[in-house]
């Protein structure tokens, strides 16, 4: 299946190296339980080397003073290189994460390519302003890179979420140290190598595989790192923010969610059922914006639950490499156990299990869970409040629009939300009243490199994607004053 040599060492200064202490960790294919390869496990000493390489790139003319048109072309070339290697990268992603090859190859990879092209377009359009200040002065601003950016990414969309950070950070002229999740480090390592192949100077993109508590923590603490762009759990987001305070790094956090998908009585029910299913079963529900709470207005509640349960029953697990598979393997045994804990909690709290909830295997192997739907869930239940990060939907009945909005906002999170209705006024009203960084109307799980994505409340702050968000996150503004009267 994986025909190309697998990159499994630390990538610093455009070269492969072992961890200083020689340590490695296994990365496992969750659909088979087999070890794909042993990967070098970066420790503080390796982060030290990565920071030195990145800092030297930031003072090296080849990168610091690179003509912005050339920076743009390099990003475009990297997009081309990723596109040319898309089959290889998609197979790696599926082996490492367990997601269907269909998703890796047909959704993730094209969006990664598009993302690098979009931010290639930003690289030579970053500019300051001249500002009409009082007095005999010329005042203007320069938009400069932040410096060395540590990007820490999770295992659910390993290459996509790396691209969301790496592409804009490089477009803005920063040097990057990318710390991929320990469960899924392989595509990020190949990305580092591809960047060197297309001509990014040494030290501009470094990739340091390793564990969060070692490699990740060392990156967050290092005084030579100027900013941390993090995507992961709310729990670790809190640690990152606390640790980064010591050196006052610029921090952005894209964290968990418990996103509501609201189905009003006047909705196109068939479309809403389809949307609710992709909202929670796409990516095995291991999606920060997963529509994990489905709020349904009472007049259509029973009809909806029946159709949704039926659809879940038809969303079957399969070998992720089989191109017809739409529900893959849960990323790790440990994660599957966590998710099963929530299935048990749902039953114990009195929710009605109407589909799935069973641990299973494919060809006798792997960590699989059938598409799961709980009905009659109450907002205070654990499965309605905590992020499960698996293919488990909680369906809650709501009385009317007001109740739907109140229930939707009854959470500490605020990443995304969906609303299904044929009433345009209601749709916009709901969009305005929801505490969420993204609202989808009559659709779900739409993304585009040009549209900002990020959280309200405990889903974090700072935005990925979109050029304004990139400038905000990956540049800093300098104000320059010139006396005109001497």
Kindly tell me which of 286 and 297 has the beta carbon lying closer to ligand ADP. 286
The kind and range of the H/E element at 430 are helix 424-433
Q: Is 220 in the site for ligand ADP (CB under 6 A)?
A: yes
| Distance, CA of 338 to CA of 371 (rounded, Å) | 15
CA–chain centroid gap for 175, Å, is 20
Q: Out of 34, 213, 306, 400, name the contact with ligand ADP by CB under 6 A.
A: 213
Subset of 331-360 contacting ligand ADP (CB under 6 A): none
Q: Is 254 in the site for ligand ADP (CB under 6 A)?
A: no
Instruction: Give the interface segment with ligand ADP, choosing from 46-54, 228-236, 376-384, 470-478 (CB under 6 A).
Output: 228-236
Total of residues contacting ligand ADP (CB under 6 A): 18
Q: Is 247 in the site for ligand ADP (CB under 6 A)?
A: no
* CA atoms within 13 Å, Cβ hemisphere of 105: 18
Q: Is 154 in the site for ligand ADP (CB under 6 A)?
A: yes
Place of tokens 């709290």: 349
440 forms beta bridges with 418
Residue tagged active-site, from 88, 288, 297, 387: 288
Shortest reach from residue 211's CB to ligand ADP, in Å: 6
Q: Is 181 in the site for ligand ADP (CB under 6 A)?
A: yes
Q: Is 152 in the site for ligand ADP (CB under 6 A)?
A: yes
Which among 197, 179, 199, 198 is positioned nearest to 189, based on CA atoms?
Answer: 179
What residues have CB less than 8 Å from 46, skipping those under 6 apart?
Answer: 10, 12, 17, 19, 20, 40, 208, 210, 215
- Count of CB atoms within 10 A of residue 114's CB? 18
Cβ proximity of 250 and 227 under 8 Å: yes
What residues have CB less than 8 Å from 376, skipping those under 6 apart?
Answer: 350, 351, 352, 395, 397
Kindly tell me which of 71 and 179 has the beta carbon lying closer to ligand ADP. 179
Q: Is 216 in the site for ligand ADP (CB under 6 A)?
A: yes
Q: Out of 96, 182, 254, 297, name the contact with ligand ADP by CB under 6 A.
A: 182
Kindly tell me which of 345 and 353 has the beta carbon lying closer to ligand ADP. 345
Q: Is 169 in the site for ligand ADP (CB under 6 A)?
A: no
Shortest reach from residue 387's CB to ligand ADP, in Å: 9
Q: ∠ at Cα 335 (448, 461), nearest 5°?
A: 40
| Distance, CA of 461 to CA of 344 (rounded, Å) | 32
Could you tell me the two tokens for 111?
Answer: 């969006």
Instruction: Give the interface segment with ligand ADP, choosing from 146-154, 187-195, 414-422, 469-477 (CB under 6 A).
Output: 146-154
Q: Is 149 in the site for ligand ADP (CB under 6 A)?
A: no
Phi, psi of 441 (to 5 degrees): -105, 120
First to last CA, the chain: 71
What residues have CB less than 8 Å from 135, skipping those under 6 apart?
Answer: none
Cβ proximity of 206 and 13 under 8 Å: yes
Shortest reach from residue 311's CB to ligand ADP, in Å: 27
Subset of 57-76 contacting ligand ADP (CB under 6 A): none
Residue tagged active-site, from 254, 286, 297, 387: 254
| Distance, CA of 140 to CA of 13 (rounded, Å) | 35
Q: Tell me, yes or no, if 254 is annotated catalytic.
A: yes
Shortest reach from residue 186's CB to ligand ADP, in Å: 14
- CA quadruple 380, 386, 389, 390: dihedral, nearest 10: -30
Shortest reach from residue 152's CB to ligand ADP, in Å: 5
CA–chain centroid gap for 318, Å, is 24
Q: Tell me, yes or no, if 337 is annotated catalytic.
A: no
Shortest reach from residue 438's CB to ligand ADP, in Å: 19
Q: Is 179 in the site for ligand ADP (CB under 6 A)?
A: yes
Q: Out of 233, 247, 316, 442, name the contact with ligand ADP by CB under 6 A.
A: 233
Cβ proximity of 416 and 439 under 8 Å: yes
Shortest reach from residue 155's CB to ligand ADP, in Å: 6
Instruction: Give the interface segment with ligand ADP, choosing from 75-83, 206-214, 403-411, 465-473 (CB under 6 A).
Output: 206-214
When CB distances to ligand ADP are compared, the closest residue is 212
Which among 479, 321, 374, 431 is positioned nearest to 329, based on CA atoms?
Answer: 321
Shortest reach from residue 235's CB to ligand ADP, in Å: 7
Instruction: Give the interface segment with ligand ADP, choosing from 138-146, 189-197, 232-240, 454-462 (CB under 6 A).
Output: 232-240
Q: Is 239 in the site for ligand ADP (CB under 6 A)?
A: yes
- Just list the catalytic residues: 254, 288
Which residues contact ligand ADP by CB under 6 A? 152-155, 179, 181-182, 211-213, 216-217, 220, 232-233, 236, 239-240
């Amino acid at each position: 299946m994986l025909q190309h040599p697998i990159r499994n060492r630390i990538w610093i200064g455009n070269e492969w190296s072992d961890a200083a202490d020689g340590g490695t960790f296994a990365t496992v294919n969750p659909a088979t339980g087999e070890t794909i390869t042993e990967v070098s496990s970066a420790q503080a000493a390796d982060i030290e080397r990565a920071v030195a390489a990145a800092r030297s790139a930031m003072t090296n003319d080849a990168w610091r003073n690179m003509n912005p048109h050339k920076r743009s072309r390099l990003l475009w070339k990297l997009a081309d290189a990723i596109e040319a290697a898309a089959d290889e990268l998609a197979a790696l992603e599926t082996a490492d994460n367990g997601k269907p090859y269909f998703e890796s190859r047909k959704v993730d990879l094209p969006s990664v390519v598009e993302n690098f092209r979009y931010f290639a377009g930003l690289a030579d359009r970053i500019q300051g302003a001249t500002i009409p200040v009082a007095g005999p002065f010329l005042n203007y601003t320069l938009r400069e890179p932040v410096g060395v950016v540590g990007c820490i990414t999770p295992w659910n969309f390993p290459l996509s979420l790396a691209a969301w950070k790496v592409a804009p950070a490089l477009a803005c002229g920063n040097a990057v140290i990318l710390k991929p999740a320990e469960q899924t480090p392989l595509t990020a390592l190949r990305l580092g190598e591809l960047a060197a192949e297309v001509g990014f100077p040494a030290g501009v993109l470094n990739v340091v595989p390793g564990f969060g508590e070692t490699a990740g923590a060392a990156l967050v603490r290092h005084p030579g790192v100027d900013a941390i762009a993090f995507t992961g759990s709310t729990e670790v987001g809190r640690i990152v923010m606390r640790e980064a305070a010591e050196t006052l790094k610029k921090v952005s956090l894209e964290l968990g969610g418990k996103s509501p998908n609201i189905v009003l009585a006047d909705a196109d029910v068939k479309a809403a059922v389809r949307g609710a299913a992709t909202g929670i079963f796409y990516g095995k529900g291991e999606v920060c914006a997963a529509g994990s709470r489905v709020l349904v207005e009472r007049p259509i509640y029973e009809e909806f639950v029946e159709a949704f349960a039926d659809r879940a029953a038809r969303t079957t697990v399969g070998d992720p490499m089989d191109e017809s598979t739409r529900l893959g393997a849960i990323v790790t045994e440990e994660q599957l156990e966590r998710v099963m804990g929530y299935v048990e909690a749902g039953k114990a709290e009195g929710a009605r299990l109407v589909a799935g909830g069973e641990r299973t295997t494919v060809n006798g192997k792997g960590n699989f869970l059938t598409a799961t739907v709980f009905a009659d869930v109450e907002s205070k239940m654990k499965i309605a409040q905590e992020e499960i990060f698996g293919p488990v939907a909680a369906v809650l009945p709501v009385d009317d629009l007001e109740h739907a909005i109140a229930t939707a906002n009854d959470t500490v999170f605020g990443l995304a939300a969906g609303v299904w209705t044929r009433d345009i006024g209601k749709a916009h009203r709901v969009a305005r009243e929801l505490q969420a960084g993204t609202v989808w109307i009559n659709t779900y799980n739409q993304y585009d490199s040009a549209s900002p994505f990020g959280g309200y409340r405990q889903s974090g702050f700072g935005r990925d994607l979109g050029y304004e968000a990139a400038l905000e996150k990956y540049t800093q503004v300098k104000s320059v004053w010139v006396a005109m009267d001497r």
